[in-house]
Amino acid sequence: MEMDINQQVKEIKQSFRLMMDGMVASSMRNKGVEYKLNWGATLPRLKAKADEIGKNYDLAIALWKENVRECKILATMLMPADEILPEVVDIWMEQTDCQEIAEQAAFNLYQYLPFAADRAYTWMASDKELYQLCGFHILSRLFMNKQEPNERGINEFIDQALAALQGDSIMVKKAAMNAMNRFAELGLVYERLAKSALKRANLDFF
């Protein structure tokens, strides 16, 4: 079994050579995004590869361990959301050290977790930027899917979103604003709550 997985990882890594895009990789380096290895494969090509392989827990775990951009992104696409344990999610989050991987994990995997909302609220309140980023991205997706928070969730979300919008991190601000917009789209009551909160904080985005 392990030999099969190792062989699959080896073949997948070899396939990245065919997806290589020097301009994408170079553009990332110029923006300060550093990976040990980065083939510059585009997300649609990685998605096509993931669709070809299908969901696979053991393969996702093995790929995540590789310090290669494409392996980590593919791992988030292959991991079945209903199989990954909360403690494994926490390990993956701890090992995430750049914005792209954080965003890909949130969009491809974390938003679909059975405990997605729980992690989103916990991470949103973290003092680490990438955790906050993931938290707001997950909530944006949940709100887009018409998942309405309870009263405590509403208060927590608004408090954390306002703190983020008044913070220094541009990427977290953008994610918080996007989440606030999605929150407002849940309905008239939510829109009024969002507008009222932003007005109180002298942040009028609507």
Give the burial class of 106: count Cβ atoms within 10 A of its Cβ; 0-12 exposed, 13-18 middle, 19 or more buried: buried
Which amino acid makes up residue 132? Q
Region of poorest pLDDT, from 18-32, 91-105, 116-130, 165-179:
18-32
Q: What is the pLDDT of the chain when averaged over all its residues?
A: 90
> Percentage of the chain surpassing pLDDT 70?
86
**Per-residue pLDDT for 77 more than 60?**
yes
Sign of CA dihedral 135, 141, 144, 148: negative
Do residues 188 and 150 touch, judged by C-beta distance below 8 A? no
Backbone phi, then psi, for 68, in 5-degree steps? -130, 130
Task: Say what the pLDDT of residue 87 is.
Answer: 97
Do residues 80 and 112 touch, judged by C-beta distance below 8 A? no
Residue-wise pLDDT for 120-160, tens only, equals 999 999 999 999 999 999 999 999 999 999 999 999 999 99
Domain segments of the chain as ranges: 1-80, 97-206
- Cα-trace Rg, the chain: 18
- In whole angstroms, give the CA distance from residue 48 to residue 44: 6
Task: Say what the pLDDT of residue 42 is.
Answer: 85
Which contiguous run of DSSP H or E holds residue 13? helix 2-19
- In whole angstroms, give the CA distance from residue 95 to residue 89: 10
* Model pTM above 0.85: yes
Confidence band for 205, pLDDT divided at 50, 70 and 90: low
Strands (E), the chain: none
Residue-wise pLDDT for 18-67, tens only, equals 776 556 556 655 555 566 666 678 899 999 999 999 999 999 999 999 98
DSSP, collapsed to helix, strand or coil, labels residue 11 as helix
Task: Say what the pLDDT of residue 203 is.
Answer: 81
The gap from C-alpha 44 to its chain's centroid, in whole angstroms, comes to: 16
